Chains A and B, each alone.
Chain A
Amino acid sequence: MKLTLEVWRQKNGGDKGGFSTYELEDVDTHMSFLEMLDVLNQDLIVGGAEPIAFEHDCREGICGACGFVVNGVAHGHQKGSTICQLHMRHFSDGDKITIEPWRAKAFPIIKDLVVDRSSFDRILQAGGFVTIRTGSAPDANALPVATDTLEHAMDFAECIGCGACVASCPNGAAMLFVGAKISHLALLPQGMPEKAKRALKMVEAMESEAFGACTNYTSCEAVCPKEISISGIARMNKDFRRASVAGAEPAHGKKR
Chain B
Amino acid sequence: MKLDARVPSGPLADKWQSLLDEIKLVSPANKRKHTIIVVGTGLAGGSAAASLGELGYEVKAFCYQDSARRAHSISAQGGINAAKNYQNDGDSVYRLFYDTIKGGDYRSREANVYRLAEVSNNIIDQCVAQGVPFGREYGGYLANRSFGGAQVSRTFYARGQTGQQLLLGAVSALNAQVAAGTVDLNIRSEMLDLVVVDGRARGIITRDTVTGEVESHVADAVLLCTGGYSNVYFLSTNAKGCNVTAIWRAYKKGAGFANPNYTQIHPTCIPQSGDYQSKLTLMSESLRNDGRVWVPKAVGDERAPNDIPEDERDYYLERIYPSFGNLVPRDVASRNAKNVCDEGRGIGTTKRGVYLDFAEAIDRLGEDVIRARYGNLFDMYEMITGENPYKAPMRIYPAPHYTMGGLWVDYYLMTTIPGLFALGEANFSDHGANRLGASALMQGLADGYFVIPNTLGEYIAGAKLEAVSPDQEEFNAARSEVEARTERLLSINGSRSVDEIHRELGMVMLDKCGMSRSAEGLTEAIEQIRVLKKEFWSNIKVPGTGEELNQELEKAGRVADLFELAELMCMDARQRNESCGGHFREEYKTDEGEARRDDENFTNVTVWEYKGDDAEPVAHTEELEFETVELTQRSYK
Residues of chain A having any CB pair with chain B under 8 Å: 11-12, 28, 30-32, 34-35, 38-39, 42, 44-46, 48-51, 53, 55-65, 78, 80-81, 85-87, 89, 110-111, 114, 116-118, 120-121, 124-141, 143-147, 150, 153-154, 157-158, 160-161, 184-185, 188, 190-191
A32, A51, A86: which contacts B551 (Cβ < 8 A)? A51
* Cα A126 to Cα B180 with chains together (Å): 10
A110–B549 contact, CB under 8 A? yes
In the complex, the 3 A-B pairs of residues with the closest C-beta atoms, listed nearest first: A144-B140, A137-B129, A129-B172
Apart from A121-B175, A146-B140, what are 5 other A-B pairs with CB-CB below 8 Å?
A49-B543, A60-B380, A63-B75, A64-B69, A190-B130
Residues of B within 8 A of A190 (CB): 128-131
* Cα A31 to Cα B273 with chains together (Å): 8
B383–A85 contact, CB under 8 A? yes
* Cα A125 to Cα B53 with chains together (Å): 14
Residues of A within 8 A of B299 (CB): none
A130–B175 contact, CB under 8 A? no
Interface string of B484-506 (1 = CB under 8 A from A): 00000000000111011000000
Q: Does B384 contact A (CB under 8 A)?
A: yes
Report the minimal beta-carbon distance from B60 to chain A, rounded to whole angstroms. 16
Report the minimal beta-carbon distance from B347 to chain A, rounded to whole angstroms. 17
A130–B129 contact, CB under 8 A? yes
A65–B496 contact, CB under 8 A? no
B240–A140 contact, CB under 8 A? no
A63 in contact with B70 given A130-B129, A140-B128, A141-B86 (CB within 8 Å): yes
Residues of A within 8 A of B50 (CB): 134
Residues of A within 8 A of B66 (CB): 55, 65, 116-118
A89 in contact with B386 given A46-B495, A62-B161, A134-B453 (CB within 8 Å): yes
A144 in contact with B70 given A35-B277, A128-B175 (CB within 8 Å): no
Q: Does B359 contact A (CB under 8 A)?
A: no
Segment at the interface with A among B119-127, B245-253, B300-308: B119-127
Residues of B within 8 A of A50 (CB): 543-544
A145 in contact with B140 given A45-B541, A140-B124 (CB within 8 Å): yes
Residues of A within 8 A of B47 (CB): 134
A38–B278 contact, CB under 8 A? yes
Q: Does B108 contact A (CB under 8 A)?
A: no
Task: For chain B, residues 107 to 142, give those with C-beta under 8 angstroms from any C-beta of chain A.
Answer: 122, 124-131, 133-142
Residues of B within 8 A of A154 (CB): 133, 158-159, 165
A147–B138 contact, CB under 8 A? yes
Q: Does B480 contact A (CB under 8 A)?
A: no
Report the minimal beta-carbon distance from B425 to chain A, rounded to whole angstroms. 15
Q: Does B281 contact A (CB under 8 A)?
A: yes
B161–A161 contact, CB under 8 A? no
Residue in A64, A81, A134, A137 whose Cβ sees the most chain B Cβ within 10 Å:
A134
Residues of B within 8 A of A11 (CB): 548
Q: Does B318 contact A (CB under 8 A)?
A: no
Q: Does B54 contact A (CB under 8 A)?
A: yes
Residues of B within 8 A of A188 (CB): 131, 133
